Structure 1
Amino acid sequence: MAEIRIRNTNERISGEENVGSFLAQQNVLYEHWDASKLPESLRGKYVLTDEEKELILSTYNEEIVEIAGRRGYKTWDIVALSEATPDIEALLKKFEQVHTHTEDEVRYIASGHGIFIIKGDEETGYFDVELEPGDVISVPEGQPHFFTLMEDRQIVAVRLFIEPAGWVASPYEDPAFIK
C-alpha cells in the first residue's frame, strides 16, 4: 500500500483510503489492483524477457483496458529497472529532475518499489508517494514531479500513455524544490 511523506512537515499518510483522499485533493489518481495476480515465477524478477513482459500485461489486461477506457490511454508497456539495468545510474539521474508532461504519467507497480515526488498545492508543497506492488498512480499533465527508485532499487511497472510515442518530459525549474 502506498504511503505519503509531506516534505515540508515530514507528516506521513498511510492506509488506502487516506492516501487516496489526499492524492485526490492534489488531483492525482490513486488506485490499488490485486498484486497477488502476478504469477509467482515473476514476483521479484527484474530482468524480463519479452514473453514475461507480455505475461504481465495479459495478467492485468482487464484492469489496464478498464482504466484506459476511462482515462483515454491508448498504449501501454512494461519497464523493468534494477542494478542489472545497463547504465542505471545515468538513467536514474535523468529521471530525478523535476519536470512536467503534456499527458498524464501513469504507473502500475507490479514488483518492487518506486517513489513519485510531486508538487502539490501551495500549502502542501512537494510530497513523496512511496509505491508498492498493486499501487496505481496517475500524475496529471502539467503537474511538476519526478520518479525514482527506493532503497532496493528495483521495479517492474506498467506504463500507460495517451500518445503512442510515449511522453516527453519538459524540465521544470523550481527554486522551492530541495532534494
Structure 2
Amino acid sequence: MAEIRIRNTNELITGEENVRDFLNQFEVIYEHWDTSKLPAHLQENFALTDEHKAEILAIFDTEIKELVERRGYRTWDVITLSEATPNIEELLAKFEQIHTHTEDEIRVIAAGAGTFVIKGGDDIGYFDVNLLPGDLISVPENTVHFFTLTDERKVVAIRLFVEENGWIAHPYEDASFQKA
C-alpha cells in the first residue's frame, strides 16, 4: 500500500483510507489493484519483452476497460525502468523535473516501486507518494508533480493516456522546490 511523506514536516501518512483521504484533498485519485493475479514470471521481472507487456495488459484488461469507461482514456501501455534500461540516468533526469500536463497522469504499479512528488497547497508544500505493487494514482491535469524511482530503482507500471501520443510535460519553475 502507498504511503505519503509530507516534506515540510516529515509527517508520514499510512493506511489505504488515510492515504486516499489525504490525496482526495488535491483531487488525486488513489485506488488499489490486485497484483497477485500476475503469474510468478511477471511479478519481479524488470526486463519485459513486448509479449510480457501484452500479457500484463491482458491480465488487467477488465480494470483497464473500467478506467477507460470512467475516465475516457484512449491508449495505454506498460513501461519498465531499472538499471537494465538503456539511458536510465537521462530518463530519470527528464522525469525528475517538476512539471504539469494538460491531462491527468495515471500509473498503476505492477511490480517494483515508484514515487510521485506532488505540490500541495501553500500550507502543505510538496509531498511524496510512495507507491508499491497494486497502487494506482491519477495526478490531475495542471498539478505540479514529477515521478521518480525509489532507491531500489526498478518499476513496472501501466500508463493510460487520453492523448494518443502520450502526455507532454510542461516545465514548472518553483524556487521553493528542493529535491529530497
User: Shared fold (TM-score greater than 0.5)?
Assistant: yes
Deviations 1:15-53 (A, max 9, x none): 000000000111100000101111111111001111100
Which amino acid is the alignment partner of residue 2 of structure 2?
A: A
Map 1:62-73 to 2 at 5 A.
62-73=62-73
Give the whole-Å Cα distance in 2 for the aligned partners of 1:61 and 1:123: 39
1:152 is the counterpart of 2:157: no
Match of 2:2 in 1: 2
Work out the number of aligned pairs and report it: 179
Match of 1:108 in 2: 108
Give the whole-Å Cα distance in 2 for the aligned partners of 1:24 and 1:67: 18
Match of 1:137 in 2: 137
How far did residue 97 of structure 1 move? 0.2
Match of 2:17 in 1: 17
3-state SS, counterpart of residue 143 of structure 2: coil
How far did residue 66 of structure 1 move? 0.4
Unaligned ranges ≥5, structure 2 = none
How far did residue 124 of structure 1 move? 0.9
Give the whole-Å Cα distance in 1 for the aligned partners of 2:17 and 2:36: 20
| Runs of 4+ with deviation above 3 angstroms | none
Map 1:69-88 to 2 at 5 A.
69-88=69-88
How far did residue 72 of structure 1 move? 1.1
Give the whole-Å Cα distance in 2 for the aligned partners of 1:70 and 1:106: 13
Unaligned ranges ≥5, structure 1 = none
Deviations 1:50-92 (A, max 9, x none): 1100000000010011012111111100000000000101110
Match of 1:33 in 2: 33
